[in-house]
């Protein structure tokens, strides 16, 4: 193989790893924003801001709920398609040490003797 192809393969591997972490980071950030918007909407309801601010509080709740729905679409889609589970399984497969089968170990012991 030519060195150019090896460099191309290495860059594709690094890009794949980077893309995995980008997907996880984007989904985590979207989920954090969606949960934050829900917390603000619930806080507005719980503290009685509707009685003090009237229509402004209702508009704040509406905007927060729209934000929560909009930012939860990406993580929900990733979970339903199994994308996050696939990324996590790939990460665990890459970090776990390979398990050597007992037959191969016995063959290796015979060869060493």
0.85 exceeded by the pTM? no
Dihedral sign of CA atoms 18, 19, 22, 27 in order: negative
**Residue position matching structure tokens 């192809």:** 5
Domain range summary for the chain, segments of one domain joined by +: 23-94
**pLDDT at residue 9, as a whole number:** 46
Give the model confidence (pLDDT) of 56-110 as tens digits: 999 999 999 999 999 999 899 888 888 777 777 776 776 666 666 556 555 555 6
CB-based burial label for 24 (10 Å; 0-12, 13-18, 19+): middle
**Residue position matching structure tokens 């390979």:** 98
Between 105 and 8, the more confident residue is: 105
Q: Which two tokens stand for residue 23?
A: 């997907």
Helix (H) or strand (E) holding 89, with range, is: helix 83-95
Measure CA 22 to chain center: 8
Give the model confidence (pLDDT) of 10-51 as tens digits: 554 555 666 777 888 899 999 999 999 999 999 999 998 989
């Amino acid at each position: 193989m030519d060195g150019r192809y090896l460099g191309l393969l290495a860059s594709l591997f690094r890009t794949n790893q980077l893309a995995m972490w980008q997907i996880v980071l984007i989904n985590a950030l979207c989920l954090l924003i969606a949960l934050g918007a829900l917390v603000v909407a619930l806080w507005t309801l719980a503290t009685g801001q509707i009685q003090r601010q009237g229509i402004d509080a209702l508009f704040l709740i509406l905007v927060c709920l729209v934000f929560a729905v909009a930012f939860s679409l990406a993580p929900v889609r990733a979970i339903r398609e199994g994308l996050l589970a696939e990324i996590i399984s790939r990460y665990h497969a890459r970090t776990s040490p390979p398990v050597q089968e007992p037959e191969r170990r016995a063959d290796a012991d015979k060869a060493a003797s």
